[in-house]
Amino acid sequence: MGFLRRLGWYLVGLSIGIVFLVFFLKKKSGGEGMDFCYFPNCRVLKDMRSKPISFGDAIPQEYRDTVMVKSILTDGNVDFGKSDTKAEPCKVYYVSKKIADQNMELQIRNCQEELIVEETALLD
């Protein structure tokens, strides 16, 4: 069999394989695109976004904005050095994000059924 004929069969098989992969991966992702979350920061934030948000008593009224908290939980950075990831029954995470030229940090208690925002701080 000549080289061009082998190359043709190879390309036919490759194209069929790509069609099957696109079909199965689209079905797996729900059709709205891929959202792979393998890094620890991404996994923790994704878990937090899936839970209802409540606020602790120490949070001032101007910081009780769920839109702001969801924005921080979407693009924030988790400080694993300060966080207590082994606490029981709720893990404590420190999540920060730059908002309007100010670094804002939230102390969040990640419980099994809900998310409790306990403290807010503006960092330099």
Structure tokens that stand for 14 in this block: 């490759």
**Considering just the CA atoms, what is the radius of gyration of the chain in Å?**
22
The per-residue pLDDT string of the chain (124 residues; one tens digit each, 9 = 90 and over) reads 789 999 999 999 999 999 988 887 776 555 555 566 788 888 899 889 888 988 888 887 877 777 888 888 888 999 999 998 888 889 999 999 988 888 888 899 999 889 988 888 877 6
Virtual CA dihedral for 35, 38, 40, 46, nearest 10 degrees? 20
